[in-house]
Amino acid sequence: MVDLTHLMENEVFMAFASYTTIILSKMMLMSTVTAFYRMTRKVFANPEDCASFGKGESLKQYLRTDDRVERVRRAHLNDLENIVPFLGIGLLYSLSEPDLSTALLHFRLFVGARIYHTIAYLTPLPQPNRALGFFVGYGVTFSMAYSLLKNKLYL
């Protein structure tokens, strides 16, 4: 049996695992932020979620959209759209024997940029703060994709 510890002894792979776990955990926290605003602002998407507040007509006032909740949901969706490519391309990139310091630079920039993106989205900070966070993360993923396709293309 292949000793899987060995994969986790590879420094690039361990770094990828750590940074990915951190950024996916951050993404999961967006669900909690959404739930927090839904509770405190009494804004729900499903009738069963606010059943304890009333019945019939009085329920409808809770089934609406709210700027704050929609903002968190947009930030969450943007995370999904950008972290999924990082997860796939980053995993394959980590297995393609990149230079450790180059790989660390990619992972750190991505994680930093996405955390900055979330802060800029939720505060909200004036543009181009959010755009900056977005494009740094975007560029990092494309840089890994380019490196992967240049070295390992097999179609």
In sequence order, which residues have a C-beta less than 8 Å from that of residue 82 and are 6 or more positions away? 114, 134, 137, 138, 141
Please, are residues 152 and 95 in contact by the beta-carbon 8 Å criterion? no
Shortest CB 81 distance to a second copy, Å:
6
Contact pattern from residue 60 through residue 99 relative to a second copy, giving x for each residue in contact according to CB under 8 A and a dash for the rest: -----------x--x-xx--xxxxxx-xxx-xx--xxx--
- Separation CA 25–CA 27 (nearest Å): 5
- Does the footprint of a second copy cover residue 101 (CB under 8 A)? no
- Does the footprint of a second copy cover residue 8 (CB under 8 A)? yes
Q: Which of 39, 42, 51, 60 lies at the binding interface for a second copy (CB under 8 A)?
A: 51
- Does the footprint of a second copy cover residue 153 (CB under 8 A)? yes
Q: 80 or 99: whose CB is closer to a second copy? A: 80
Q: Which of 25, 40, 55, 57 lies at the binding interface for a second copy (CB under 8 A)?
A: 25
In sequence order, which residues have a C-beta less than 8 Å from that of residue 64 and are 6 or more positions away? 43
Cis peptide before 128 (omega within 30 of 0): yes
- Separation CA 2–CA 72 (nearest Å): 43
Closest CA to 94 of 20, 41, 28: 20
Buried b (16+ CB within 10 A) or exposed e, 110-136: bbbbbebbbebbeeeeeeebbeebbeb
Shortest CB 118 distance to a second copy, Å:
14
Shortest CB 117 distance to a second copy, Å:
12
- Does the footprint of a second copy cover residue 2 (CB under 8 A)? yes
Binding site for a second copy (CB under 8 A): 1-11, 13-15, 17-22, 24-25, 27-28, 30-31, 45-46, 48-49, 51, 71, 74, 76-77, 80-85, 87-89, 91-92, 95-97, 121, 124-127, 130, 134, 138, 141-142, 145, 148-149, 152-155
